[in-house]
Structure 1
């Protein structure tokens, strides 16, 4: 029997795996802990270069100041609302467009449907930076700058989600389609009564991923959101950081903590569905 099969060998392997895992957690969590603790200290403490590892006495006033007026004069509450609207609309819109596109490609016998799908898939080869200025020109000509529509519509399509839904739909047995036809179900009824229920976990997993994607958008909102009315929290945090002497780091860290809460809450609330959508296929 090899050493890895013996109890001692397994214990050694488990200890090493847990040690590596613990190191990764520390490396990932320590910066977040410093930001959380820094949000409870005053600006002078952070300005002196101190790294706070314990809570300070100024948490309430820092969070009240950031929520009410913000370091740049724009309330963080307003920026969080803008980011939430953008992330929700991007996630829901991407799922709706992608699932309908994949449904049409898989279940409709249209000429050139594979060509259409691969045309969609090839857009993955183009980074956002390649098409960002033509996209901005179109948005500007349509008068959508500084609007929610301008923030959301240009990034609402997703070739990745279309690919994932297509691959899942290909696993649906043909018997389901034939049974639906025998029952007199049309395409819309088959989509509503069969495809959507089977796709629930996939949609939940994609929703988490796409919500975080929409929440973390930086380059596109930087171009489109030039006024405070539609400014997202990611753009707001960048604007808060000026010169070293003029930056209120305690309020910046407070804003960072507030910006973390919505995506973390979405992940926690949908964790079970997220894991199930990545590991299982409902049939």
Structure 2
């Protein structure tokens, strides 16, 4: 139902415009700051229009070592992308297989396994950070992509969501697949995965953002600049030897760090919304 009242339309549009201004103002100031020189940002007046550098600061952080990091933003973005993709793909793969086994196979302690997985929702990374670090260090996975990804790829939330979805699959579909001679892997590949594609897309967006925004774990296990992510690099960039924060570099790097998540959300927005509201059966 849509209301067509002139006063209500004006009020709602005014509120929407104000909300857009409030949310976009920090981004606009970051864009503007990224086009100025360091000296022009310490004049005591925050600039609200573009400076003389243009895209020069962006090109500089992409190609030259940034501050005390010893590496360029391109390397940081690649590390963050590898970590986010590895976590998203790993979480979805493990969740699909775990949910498939719990729903479609009958084995002893099946529900106990599910509740054991579900209970891990109460144990976030911060709670188990020290034993996890000890295991990763003992296996020699510090300063490696494996160490960044492997401890974070199990997801009780994704397993629960796939289990709930698979419980809605009609039993007749499984019986029809058996009559056609489809084995367990073929049933998963040819029937369940196509039915789950919107759910997979929705969870991929969530898990990608989860992996991209990780701060504590990469900060703990990475000491070499070759494996640092762009999120933890922003904190390190705020410290400088001359006590002057290079805000033109920081804002340029922050804006570059925003691009991959924004691209993923824009490209998969339709599938994300559909996966949350439509079962596609």
Offset at residue 52 of structure 1 (A): 2.1
Contact 1:124-1:160 within 8 A present in 2 as well: yes
CA distance in 2, matches of 1:259, 1:49: 27
Is residue 2:23 matched to residue 1:28? yes
Is residue 2:102 matched to residue 1:105? yes
Is residue 2:179 matched to residue 1:178? no
Is residue 2:36 matched to residue 1:38? no
Offset at residue 100 of structure 1 (A): 0.6
Give the secondary-structure state (helix, strand or coil) at the position aligned to 2:126.
Answer: helix
RMSD, aligned CA: 1.8
Is residue 2:59 matched to residue 1:64? yes
Give the secondary-structure state (helix, strand or coil) at the position aligned to 1:130.
Answer: coil
Contact 1:47-1:249 within 8 A present in 2 as well: no
Matches within 5 A, 1:214-229: 214-229=211-226
In the superposition, relative to structure 1, how do residues 16 and 114 fare at CA in structure 2: closer, same or farther (>3 Å)? Answer: farther
Offset at residue 258 of structure 1 (A): 0.7
Structure 1 length normalisation: TM-score?
0.93
CA deviations on 1:49-98 (whole Å, 9 max, x unpaired) are 43222111112321122111223331000000000100011111110000
**In the alignment, which residue of structure 1 is the partner of 2:193?**
196
**In the alignment, which residue of structure 2 is the partner of 1:129?**
126
Is residue 2:141 matched to residue 1:148? no
CA distance in 2, matches of 1:7, 1:172: 41
Give the secondary-structure state (helix, strand or coil) at the position aligned to 2:76.
Answer: helix
Give the secondary-structure state (helix, strand or coil) at the position aligned to 1:226.
Answer: coil
Q: Which runs of 4+ in 1 moved over 6 A?
A: none
Give the secondary-structure state (helix, strand or coil) at the position aligned to 1:85.
Answer: helix
Matches within 5 A, 1:44-83: 44-69=39-64, 70-72=66-68, 73-83=70-80
Give the secondary-structure state (helix, strand or coil) at the position aligned to 1:59.
Answer: coil
CA distance in 2, matches of 1:127, 1:101: 19
Offset at residue 6 of structure 1 (A): 8.3
1:207 corresponds, among 200, 204, 207, to 204
Offset at residue 17 of structure 1 (A): 3.4
Greater Cα offset, 55-64 or 156-165: 55-64
**In the alignment, which residue of structure 2 is the partner of 1:256?**
254
2:269 corresponds, among 242, 257, 271, to 271
CA distance in 2, matches of 1:129, 1:7: 50
Offset at residue 246 of structure 1 (A): 2.7
Greater Cα offset, 122-131 or 212-221: 122-131
Offset at residue 7 of structure 1 (A): 5.4
**In the alignment, which residue of structure 2 is the partner of 1:231?**
228
Offset at residue 259 of structure 1 (A): 0.6
CA distance in 1, matches of 2:45, 2:176: 69
CA distance in 2, matches of 1:13, 1:96: 47
Structure 2 length normalisation: TM-score?
0.94
Contiguous gaps of at least 5 residues in structure 2: none
In the superposition, relative to structure 1, how do residues 128 and 178 fare at CA in structure 2: closer, same or farther (>3 Å)? Answer: same
CA distance in 1, matches of 2:13, 2:153: 40
Contact 2:71-2:226 within 8 A present in 1 as well: no
CA deviations on 1:103-128 (whole Å, 9 max, x unpaired) are 11111112221111111111111122
Task: Count residues in correspondence.
Answer: 278
Contact 1:71-1:252 within 8 A present in 2 as well: no
